[in-house]
Amino acid sequence: MPVAGPRRYTNLFRNIGNPFEYILDKLHDRGRMLHFVTKPNKIAFDVPASLYQVFKEIFMADVYNVGALMRVLPDDPLVIDIGANAGFFDILLLSKIKNAQIYAYEPLSSNIERMRSVASSNRRFDKSVTINPFAVTGTSCEMLRLYAQDTEDNQVVASSLKGFNTDNTKELWIPAISLSEIVANIPKAKIDLLKMDCEGGEYDIVLNTPPDVVRRIERMLVEVHDVDSQFNINTFSRYLGELGYDVNYTSINGFCYALEACKK
């Protein structure tokens, strides 16, 4: 369950080696580029003002409950991260589980470049994270149309669904790869963790991937968005239950949920 209130600062001090970088900026409200180093395994990374909210969700609110993940994942988990954004989840996971192998998929060039900048200055990230500049689908296609904000800054709300966010006024055509293709190219029999945050794309990816492929995934962490009466948290969680997963979810806001699914 996402942490709120003062407890977020406990996570900040637990996850970040220089937490006063955030606190001083908050007190002075400067909105500058922040520079952090994780702990216990050190990975240095920058956070621009456009990604403050993502940083807070992952390193402070802990929407993916990384502490619990550490207790259930193996020492060398194989992870697929769909909608990796600037790689903050991957950074946090590697700061706790140094031998994780992560395949990160991100469609937006500004976010990809930020991940690559982390890789260029951090050997652990470069060694452990394979950065893939693709949108991910359930139904195979060469290119996927995304709707994004008309900005060169890093952003978090690009979606394949028109009207998903009123700020998404720019159309982009992005090279795409299906989840089935991703899994087929992984030699291990199982994927220890699928993390997914793709602004409504979770329905196409999971519902249109063959069930036997989905079942190769041991555990999922998914941000699920209520789209309409057909595509919502209830239908999504019920489908995973039918595939043989135990499913739990908590509300992040009025239309978005943090869902965890684990094979029975």
pLDDT tens, residue by residue, 114-136? 999 999 999 999 999 999 999 99
pLDDT tens, residue by residue, 51-60? 999 999 999 9
Average of per-residue pLDDT values in the chain: 91
Expressed as residue numbers, the domain containing 207 is 7-263
Q: Which amino acid is at 105?
A: Y
The contacts of residue 187 (CB under 8 Å, 6+ apart) are none
Number of domains in the chain: 1
Residue 149 pLDDT grade (very low, low, confident, very high; cuts 50, 70, 90): confident
Tell me which residue of 23, 22, 2 sits closest to 223, measured CA to CA: 2
Distance separating the N- and C-terminal Cα atoms of the chain: 21
Task: Find where tokens 């709300």 sit.
Answer: 157
Tell me which residue of 165, 163, 101, 107 sits closest to 136, measured CA to CA: 107
Q: Is residue 1 assigned to a domain?
A: no
pLDDT tens, residue by residue, 203-252? 999 999 999 999 999 999 999 998 888 889 999 999 999 999 999 998 88
Token readout for 38 is 């994780």
Three-state secondary-structure class, residue 184: helix
pLDDT at residue 1, rounded to an integer: 63
Q: Which amino acid is at 104?
A: A
Does 154 have pLDDT greater than 70?
no
pLDDT at residue 6, rounded to an integer: 87
- For the beta carbon of residue 146, count every other beta carbon within 10 angstroms: 24
Residue 146 pLDDT grade (very low, low, confident, very high; cuts 50, 70, 90): confident
pLDDT at residue 155, rounded to an integer: 64
Q: Which of 13-17, 57-61, 162-166 has the lowest mean pLDDT?
A: 162-166
pTM: 0.92
DSSP per residue, 106-158: ---HHHHHHHHHHHHH-HHHHHHEEEE--EEESS--SEEEEEE-S-SS--S--
Does 3 have pLDDT greater than 70?
yes
pLDDT at residue 188, rounded to an integer: 82
Q: Supply the CATH number for residue 211's domain.
A: 3.40.50.150
Does 102 have pLDDT greater than 90?
yes
Above pLDDT 70, what percent of the chain? 98
Q: Please say whether the beta carbons of 153 and 186 come within 8 A.
A: no
Three-state secondary-structure class, residue 78: strand
Three-state secondary-structure class, residue 190: coil
- For the beta carbon of residue 208, count every other beta carbon within 10 angstroms: 14
pLDDT at residue 167, rounded to an integer: 75
Sign for the CA dihedral angle at 25, 26, 29, 34 comes to positive
Does 35 have pLDDT greater than 80?
yes
Q: Is residue 130 assigned to a domain?
A: yes
Mean pLDDT throughout 254-264? 90
Tell me which residue of 95, 93, 100, 54 sits closest to 75, measured CA to CA: 100
